[in-house]
Amino acid sequence: MAAREPEIIRRKDEMRKWSRSMRAQGKTIGFVPTMGYLHKGHLSLVNEARKHADLIVVSIYVNPAQFAVSEDLSTYPSDFNGDLKKLMSATGGVDAVFNPFDLYDYGSGRGGSGGEGRENGGRKEKVEVSCADETGGGHDTWVRVERLEKGLCGKSRPVFFRGVATVVTKLFNIVEPDVAVFGKKDYQQWRIICRLVRDLDFGIQIIGAEIVREDDGLAMSSRNVYVSPDERQKALSINRSLSEAKLAVERGQMSSRELRSSVIQAIEEAGGKVDYAEIVDQETLEEVEEIKAPVVFCVAAWFGKARLLDNIEINI
């Protein structure tokens, strides 16, 4: 028996009304936020959410605020009809898909800074702006989780987590879920959302789901579509070197510097360009020199035009 099609909701007020009517009937709501172009990793999040709630809402929204003006917003892959078919194949399907046209209110202004910089004490200062800033008028209210956003991806993508935290806050306020599921592949993002929910007193349970991998070990990602067959084989060096690092720790090697060097060397020898390779505390995301407590080894590396993320938790 084929799963029924989910209700498709595009307006914020209609989404909120749907959620409140379901909760008035005593139903609990599980939520999985996505940017679409779904794969089995996303479906695993849906299946996990189904374990914790009566009804499931999936959002499909490519958030402009987490892309800098130089990044790939305009070319981010999308396939809405294909996404619906995949969601219907998930265990139990999904009950609603929230697919808003835009979540940002830019007001009447159409000035947009264009990323050209601003005057600061008589000199030009380069200003990092997101695509949401670029779209006439800008967006004035942002949510930041200041300490956790600084390292790892935050170093090379300074507007990214501001955009993530803001849009997730907006989605939480619109969908009003009881449970939300995020994948641990985006480890820093997951930890930031956990802290956001704690600090702002959202009554939402946040669940981190384990990384789902392709048969060859590559972490599933919508951006894998950018990787050529040859680059894909080379990209397997990420997971392979991380797994070897974990084994080295289990054998007694506790120096983060040595472990980082071996992973960076393996990826670069395979033809990748390492953005970062860091061993950090699982909770604080602060770098550690010696592994004495649970850590996570996080990597971002370029293969061709695809920036791939992966990580491995090391519990000692």
Nearest residue to 246 via CA among 297, 283, 285: 297
Q: CA 9, CA 84: separation in Å to the nearest integer? A: 13
- Sole residue written with tokens 């992966």: 310
Cα-based torsion angle of the residue sequence 198, 11, 67, 44 in order, rounded to the nearest 10 degrees? 60
Q: CA 83, CA 61: separation in Å to the nearest integer? A: 12
Counting beta carbons within 10 angstroms of the beta carbon of residue 209, is it exposed (0 to 12), middle (13 to 18) or buried (19 or more)? buried
* 42 belongs to the catalytic site: yes
∠ CA 210-215-217, nearest 5°, is 60
Q: CA 234, CA 217: separation in Å to the nearest integer? A: 12
Identify the active-site residue in 39, 42, 52, 139: 42
- Sole residue written with tokens 């956001």: 196
Q: CA 78, CA 100: separation in Å to the nearest integer? A: 14
Beta strands 205-209 and 273-281 are: unpaired
Catalytic residues: 42
